[in-house]
Each structure stands twice: as C-alpha cells, then as structure tokens.
C-alpha cells in the first residue's frame, strides 16, 4: 500500500470526524463560486450603487471569504494533528520516517481539499442561477435569469482554493517536524497546573468593555469621517482587548471563586465540570475570545442588513415623496407628460402639484447646517406659501409627526410676521429649539424678520440637490408680495405627480424620462434621470438587497466555521480526558452522571462565547440604530435582531448538541 492509498484509507476510516470540516469548507467554496459567478455574469454588470457597480461588492465579499477560509482551514489542521498525536507516534515506532508521515498528512489534506473544491464548485455552478434569482428578488428586480456556466468563475474558484489547500497541505507536512516522539506519546499525560490569572487583568477587562459600550452609546453619530472614526476605533480596541482579557483573567477567576462555594461545588457532576472548565477556559482564552467576537460580528452584520432591508419600503417616501417629479416644466410639457401616462396605461394619476419656491437667504443666531456647523451664519434657503405646502401635504399623504423627515405637524394658519420653518438638515439637533425665535429673511437686499411658530424636518421635495436647504413657509399674502418682486432666476418650479400604484410605474417612468428635456431633469441621485418613486425604490433595493444577500451568506459561513472550530476543540479535549473518565467509571460514576457533567461543561464553553458575543452585538446594534434614523423614524432593529439571534442560537445549539454526543461517545465508549 503506497502513501496515497494509506491517506485515502485514513480518510475513509475517520470520515465522521472530517465531515463537519468538509461541510464547512465545501460551503465556503460554494459561496465563493456563487459570488464569482455573479461577479463575472454580464447580466449584473449594469447594476450600480451610487458611482460603483454592484459586482464590486461581490468581488470584495469573495476576497473576504478566501481570507476567512484560509484562517479556518489552517486552524482546523492544528486540531486534526492534535487528535492524531498518538497515531503519528505509532507510525514512528513502526519505522516510518518523518518525511513519510508528512507525505501521508500532505496527501490527506490534498484529498480533502480536492473533495471540498470539486463539490463546492459543482454546487456553486448548479445553484448559481437559483441564488441569482434570490438576489434579484431581494433587489426588487423581476428580470429573468438564464442559466449559464461562467467559466471565469469556475477557474477562479478552483485556482483560489487549490492554492489555499496546497498551502494547508504543506503546513500539515511540516507539522510532524515540530514534535518529538516523546511529546507525541505523552500527549494525553500532560499535567494541568492551576491556571494563573491576574486580578487586575480581570478588573481591567470589565472596565475596558464597559468603557467601549459607554463610548459607543454617547458618541455623536451625526459627525462623519475622521471625527467618527476615532471613537469607533477606540470602541473596537476596548472591546477586543477587553474580551481577550475577560476570558484570560476574569472568567477563570470567577470559576475558581465558584470552587470555594462548597454547597455548589461538592456535587458529583459539578466537581468534574467546574474542575475541567477552569483549566480549559484559561488554555483556550484566545479561541473563545475569537469565537465571541466572530459571534458579535455575525449577529450585528446580519441583523443590521436584515433590519435595514425590512425598513427600505418606509424610506422611499423620504427620497421621493411624489411618484414622479420634474423641475421647471412648462404647461405644454406637463400636458405631454399626462398624455404619455394615459397612453402607457400602466398607472393612473391621482394628484398633481405644480408649485413654486423662491430663493432667499435665511439667518438665525442658533441655526446652522450640518455641513458647516457654524451657528448664526447666513444660509441659502427658500420661501413657500402655506397653501402650496398644504397641497403638498394632502397630495403626498404625509402623516402627522414632529421632527421626522417623512412627517410634519403643520396645521396652522400663518399670520403676517409668522413663519413655519422646514429644516433641510436630517437631524433635529439644529432646529428643535428654534420655535419662538426670530428668523431673518434677506431678499433683494432687504432683510425682514419673522417669528418661527413651528419647526419640521419634512423633506417635501425628497432627496434633491436642493433638499439640504431650509424653507420658510409664509402666509399666502406675504409670499405673494415676494413673488411679485422675484425675477425668473429667483423662482424654482416643480411638477409633482402621484400615481395610484407607484411601485408598478416602471414603464411609465421610462416613457416620461424620454420626453422630459435634459435641462429640466430633477436629480442625478442614485444615477436616475428624474426623481421617481420606482427609480428610488429600485436603486435602494438594488444596493441593500445585495448587502442582505452577501451578509446572509458570509454570516452563515462565519457561524459554520465558528461552530466547527468549537466542535473540533471539544473532540480534542475529550480524547485528552479519556483516561480520567475511565477512572471515574471505575469508582462508580454512572453514565448519566458523567453525561450531566459533560453537558454542563460544554454548556459553559459554548454559552460563554455566545453570551459575550450577544452582549457586544446588542450595544453595536443600539449604536447602529442611532445612525440609521434617516427618516426620523426609529427602525425596529432590536426586534429584527431577535429573529436573527433566534436562528443563530438554533444553529449554534446544533453544534453544541453534536459536541456533547461526540464528547460522550469518546468519554464513555472506551472500556479497559
């Protein structure tokens, strides 16, 4: 029997042990293959987010998968070698050279890598059309996907993972040279000393984690760029270092404190489980910390994207309150637009608004815009009549609400000298205290002062090039006085049209965009010609649908890899504890008592990482929720996170139960 046949025979005998690893790596290859298929599929090359292409997201995600898979595969190799130390020692005793043993390990890794690569690539090709359809569904696109093999994707997948598994196999080959024969033979006889820990380190871990949480909850999420990056980086450093120190110092310290509780500790199963776990947590502190952080990243990523996706429908009116809007349209063009809508026959017009706003300059000692943050400065703004604003509110069916971007509380008759202020900022911080204060309005080199009787964040013209500028609503009589003095360049005219089914107006909008002159086009935001509900709807769903798709599969990959690492670690420890469990059986411990101790021991290991990860993700999501109130409406992030956490825990518990059964089979199954 040659070494290749020996390696193949070993895999067959230990296939059950390799199965979880094979499933995880095959899944990684499959997802990488699907992402590459989408990247190389010309059908997706036209989809964009802002100035970039959707395919760029999948390229970045594919790179992230390869990097994560590299860590997982190399980490798993270490576990496999540890489980086979005695087997390798026996090979040495019967006369096999280290180079021969290394070659056998090399072949085993290559065979497993080839199986994972072949299965993953085939599955990726087979399911690429199915998952492309899911992606288009998430992106609110009804385009049909034709099945075609993207050979560039196949070649890229095979080459990437063959290189990865080749590196892994070379690493496995070299591992045999790192151990002496005596170390391999006495692998399970290494004594465990009472774990050392630092009391100060334990206290500092709690302080760092609390500090990270506190900074995350109080940092000003309105600030962007470098100002937000610094506190975010501080939070990250505090949480990561705090988590490492928590598992290295605080938790072993807490476990040793439990041993001093005689009523709790002197129970048969507790003596075993607590005694075992107090050593294991210290020894595995780095791994448990990584699992906890990976858990937090996975839950946060999946919950945030899922929550955002579910809220997208409510955000569309913020970007486009009208079903269709154009700027500076004359009566003839307006009639042509109505005729096109009628001829298309796709939707019906329920309301139209042709309104004007006048360019002015506004100044209040306490007011500034977000981009400047300079209170008291004079800013460009607009004025509008109250009858026009009432008509917009009625036709766009705006709900009543204060300080919300898609709501307004305007319900008053303005008197001369009074004004209702519509802030162009997205946050209420700049306008919430303006009611009752004077607003200076400069027009034609004349400054008039108006008393602010109400404030709103309502984005009545959506996400236009003008939307960040404030508007002062005046009485009709006051507005008409300014209108009589205004020149043609001072007035901006808008035409807003409401459809009975804006989500089904795609063909209508395409037809309208063909007849609207280039110089009247409203906005290039999201890469669309005019501002339309369906245009914004498809644009934001294209972006966040892709985010959800990528986040979902990378999250599952993280979970499978983390669960696999935890599983293999427990298998190694079970093999190391076989002799101790033999002794416990001989002194009279029953199978039920031993299983109860194993259940408790593994529950602590799995539960600690999960609990810490959930705690981290909770504060991360609370911070995320504060940054995502674009529409002035609190998103149900934590409710949506509950759904993700529930699914996560179910899959995580599967690995826990699998570990318990395997651990028990090893601990009880051997009889002397």
Q: 97-123, pLDDT tens digit by residue?
A: 878 877 888 888 888 889 989 998 999
Residue 268 lies in a domain: no
Residue 282 lies in a domain: no
Residue 513 lies in a domain: yes
pLDDT (mean) for 367-382: 83
Task: Specify the pLDDT at position 208.
Answer: 94
Give the integer Cα–Cα distance in Å for 660 and 79.
Answer: 18
Domain boundary among 534, 556, 580: 534
Domain boundary among 173, 190, 207: 190
Give the integer Cα–Cα distance in Å for 234 and 240.
Answer: 10
Enclosing domain of residue 445: 319-534
Which two three-digit tokens encode residue 544? Answer: 């966040």
pLDDT (mean) for 245-272: 70
**How many domains, in total, are found in the chain?**
2
> What sign has the CA pseudo-torsion 580, 585, 589, 595?
positive
pLDDT (mean) for 475-495: 92
Domain boundary among 190, 209, 227: 190
Task: Specify the pLDDT at position 191.
Answer: 46
Residue 524, helix vs strand vs coil: coil
Query: For 515-543, how does the pLDDT look when each residue is reduced to its tens digit (9 = 90+)?
Result: 876 555 555 554 455 788 888 888 778 77
Residue 109 lies in a domain: yes
| Core vs surface per residue 409-421: b (16+ CB within 10 A) or e | bbeeebeeebbbb
Q: How sure is the predictor about 20, in pLDDT bands with cuts at 50, 70 and 90?
A: confident
Task: Specify the pLDDT at position 636.
Answer: 66
pLDDT (mean) for 36-61: 69
Instruction: Tell whether the model's pLDDT for residue 183 goes beyond 70.
Output: no
Q: How sure is the predictor about 584, in pLDDT bands with cuts at 50, 70 and 90?
A: confident
pLDDT (mean) for 390-418: 86
pLDDT (mean) for 207-223: 84
pLDDT (mean) for 5-23: 76
Q: Burial, 492: exposed, middle or buried (Cβ in 10 Å; 0-12, 13-18, 19+)? A: middle
Half-sphere exposure of 628 (CA within 13 A, CB side): 23
The pTM assigned to this predicted structure is 0.72
DSSP state of 437: S
Give the integer Cα–Cα distance in Å for 654 and 661.
Answer: 11
In sequence order, the 6+-apart residues with CB closer than 8 A to the CB of 69 are 25, 28, 29, 32, 161, 164, 561
Task: Specify the pLDDT at position 419.
Answer: 94
Residue 219 lies in a domain: no
Residue 334 lies in a domain: yes
Percent of the chain with pLDDT over 90: 19
Residue 584 lies in a domain: no
Percent of the chain with pLDDT over 70: 82
The overall average pLDDT reported for the chain is: 80
For residue 449, the surrounding DSSP H or E stretch is strand 446-456
Which range, 239-243, 429-433, 468-472, 554-558, is most confident? Answer: 239-243
Residue 649 lies in a domain: no
């Amino acid at each position: 029997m040659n070494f290749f046949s020996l390696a193949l025979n070993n895999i067959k005998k230990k296939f059950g042990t390799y199965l979880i690893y094979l499933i995880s790596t095959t899944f990684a290859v499959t997802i990488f293959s699907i992402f590459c298929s989408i990247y190389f599929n010309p059908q997706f090359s036209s989809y964009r987010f802002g100035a970039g292409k959707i395919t760029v997201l999948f390229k970045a995600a594919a790179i992230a998968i390869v990097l994560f898979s590299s860590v997982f595969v190399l980490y798993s190799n270490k576990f496999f070698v540890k489980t086979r130390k005695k087997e390798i020692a026996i090979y040495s005793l019967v006369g096999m050279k280290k180079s021969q043993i290394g070659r056998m390990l090399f072949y085993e890794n290559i065979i497993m890598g080839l199986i994972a690569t072949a299965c993953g690539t085939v599955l990726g090709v087979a399911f690429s059309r199915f998952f492309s359809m899911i992606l288009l569904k998430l992106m609110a696109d009804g385009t049909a996907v034709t099945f075609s093999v993207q050979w560039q994707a196949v070649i890229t997948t095979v080459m990437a993972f063959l290189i990865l598994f080749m590196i892994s196999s070379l690493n496995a080959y070299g591992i045999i040279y790192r151990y002496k024969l005596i170390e391999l033979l006495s692998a399970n006889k290494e004594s465990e000393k009472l774990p050392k820990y630092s009391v100060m380190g334990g206290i500092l871990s709690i302080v760092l984690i609390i500090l990270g949480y506190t900074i995350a909850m109080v940092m000003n999420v309105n600030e962007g760029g470098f100002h937000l990056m610094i506190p975010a980086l501080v939070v990250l450093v505090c949480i990561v270092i705090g988590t490492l120190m928590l598992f290295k110092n605080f938790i072993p310290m807490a476990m040793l404190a439990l041993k001093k509780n005689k009523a709790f500790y002197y129970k048969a199963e507790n003596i075993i489980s607590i005694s075992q776990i107090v050593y294991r947590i210290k020894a595995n502190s780095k791994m448990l910390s990584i699992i906890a952080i990976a858990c937090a990243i996975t839950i946060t990523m999946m919950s945030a994207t899922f929550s955002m996706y579910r809220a997208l429908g409510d955000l569309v009116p913020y970007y486009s309150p009208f079903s269709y809007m154009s700027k500076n349209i004359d009566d003839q063009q307006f009639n042509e637009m109505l005729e096109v809508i009628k001829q298309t026959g796709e939707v019906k017009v329920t309301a139209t608004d042709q309104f004007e706003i006048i360019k002015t300059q506004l100044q209040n000692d306490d007011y500034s815009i977000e981009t400047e943050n300079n209170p008291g400065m004079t800013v460009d703004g607009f004025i509008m009549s109250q009858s026009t604003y009432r008509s917009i509110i009625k036709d766009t069916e705006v709900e009543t609400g204060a300080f919300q971007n898609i709501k307004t509380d305007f319900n008053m008759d303005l008197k001369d000298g009074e004004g209702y202020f519509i802030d162009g900022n997205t946050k209420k911080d700049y306008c919430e205290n303006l009611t009752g204060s004077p607003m200076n309005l400069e027009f034609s080199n004349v400054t008039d002062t108006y008393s602010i009787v109400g404030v709103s964040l309502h984005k009545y013209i959506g996400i236009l090039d003008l939307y960040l500028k404030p508007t002062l609503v005046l009485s009709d009589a006051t507005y008409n006085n300014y209108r009589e003095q205004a020149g043609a360049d001072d007035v901006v005219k808008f035409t807003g049209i409401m459809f009975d089914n804006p989500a089904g107006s795609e063909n209508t909008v395409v037809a309208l965009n063909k007849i609207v002159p280039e110089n009247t086009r409203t906005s290039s935001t999201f890469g669309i010609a005019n501002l339309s509900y369906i245009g914004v709807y498809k644009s934001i769903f294209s972006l966040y649908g892709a985010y959800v798709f990528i986040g979902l599969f990378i999250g599952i990959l993280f979970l499978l890899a983390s669960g696999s690492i935890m599983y293999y670690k427990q298998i190694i420890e079970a093999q190391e504890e076989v002799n101790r469990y033999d002794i416990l059986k001989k002194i009279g411990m029953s199978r039920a008592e031993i299983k109860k101790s194993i259940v408790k021991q593994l529950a602590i290991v799995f539960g600690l990482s999960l609990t810490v990860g959930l705690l981290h993700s909770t504060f991360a999501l609370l911070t995320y929720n504060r940054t995502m109130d674009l529409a002035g409406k609190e998103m149900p992030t934590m409710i949506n996170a509950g759904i993700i956490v529930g699914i996560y825990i179910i899959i995580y518990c599967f690995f826990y139960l699998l570990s318990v059964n395997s651990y028990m089979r090893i601990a009880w199954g051997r009889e002397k």
